Amino acid sequence: MADLTVNGPAGPRPKKRFSRANIFLYGTLIVVSMYYLLPLYVMIVTSLKGMPEIRMGNVFGPPMEITFQPWVKAWSEACTGLDCTGLSKGFWNSVQILIPSVVLSIAIASVNGYALSLWKFKGSEVFFTILIIGAFIPYQTMLYPIVIILREIGLMGDLGGLVLVHTVFGMPILTLLFRNYFASVPEELFKAARVDGAGFWQIYFQIMLPMALPIFVVAIILQVTGIWNDFLFGVIYTKPATYPMTVQLNNIVNSVQGIKEYNVNMAATLLTGLVPLVIYFASGKLFVRGIAAGAVKG
């Protein structure tokens, strides 16, 4: 039998909490996160202060008297020109743009990606290449042609027009995302389904869709943040009545008449950034998993 009183270490490895490597590692992390979190902190505390307190100039100090008045004002009372309805209208406009754009673009792109990876047809590679080139052309070059197109089909200034633009511009990257994901699905699975008599849509809905949930989450996050944060298309293809939240925010923050209400501006900015932030926090884990799942093969 082996002697149990052997020489050398036994039991758990001793931990060195304050080793040089740890101090360096955590030190760097703390400094970097401070760098990014400080502006957020300033925004939050400023949005909770009243104007007299802000004028005192203590930017980093916590509010002596917490007030939610700036938030209320940013939401429903802030003025852009003569219109004093705050961000709320922009918020609902953004929601009306966001939901159809995300649903439509993902629905189409996922079918695109599915067809391009599994139902290859003559010229499908060429088609895919052309689509991908779209991802490398700067948006700015296409702004005016799209204005003409929207004018001709009568959607200029309409929310529907913006939905169309977002759907089209999401297509290249989303198709690439879905194609690569479906290309990583074992081909034999697809063959088995065909032997089992399933057609194009049956395989898509019954076999592929349930397997592709992680990549759908990735696509949703990309689209929600992208479309919600969009300013350029929003300001060009809509009119004041249909301005999305980002454009409304810009107008509030940049209005020049009267005094600059820093607290209201901060509150308005935080309100606008809330939707993407919530999406990130709610689906952070799935997001990472989906990105990795799509990236391994393809």
Give the footprint of another protein on this chain (CB under 8 A). Answer: 186, 188-189, 191-198, 202, 206-207, 210-211
Question: Given the complex with another protein, which of 123 and 197 has the nearer CB atom?
Answer: 197
**Least distance from another protein to the Cβ atom of residue 109, Å:** 21
Nearest to 167 by CA among 127, 134, 201: 134
Please report how close the Cβ of residue 200 comes to another protein at its closest, in angstroms. Answer: 12
Distance in Å, CB of 123 to another protein, minimum: 14
Nearer to another protein, 107 or 209 (CB): 209
Nearer to another protein, 194 or 289 (CB): 194
Q: Which is nearer to another protein, 4 or 195 (CB)?
A: 195
**Residue 4 CB, nearest distance to another protein (Å)?**
36
Q: Which is nearer to another protein, 79 or 189 (CB)?
A: 189
- If the CB atoms of residues 22 and 206 are measured against another protein, the closer one turns out to be 206
Q: How far is the CB of 216 from another protein (least distance, A)?
A: 14
Reduce the secondary structure of the chain to three states and give it as a string: CCCCCCCCCCCCCCCCCCCHHHHHHHHHHHHHHHHHHHHHHHHHHHHCCCHHHHHCCCCCCCCCCCCCHHHHHHHHCCCECCECCCCHHHHHHHHHHHHHHHHHHHHHHHHHHHHHHHCCCCCHHHHHHHHHHHHHCCHHHHHHHHHHHHHHCCCCECHHHHHHHHHHHHHHHHHHHHHHHHHCCCHHHHHHHHHCCCCHHHHHHHHHHHHCHHHHHHHHHHHHHHHHHCCHHHHHHECHHHCCHHHHHHHHHHCCCCCCCHHHHHHHHHHHHHHHHHHHHHHHHHHHHHHHHHHCCC
Q: Which is nearer to another protein, 26 or 201 (CB)?
A: 201
Q: Minimum distance from CB of 7 to another protein (Å)?
A: 40
The nearest distance, CB 206 to another protein, in angstroms, is 8
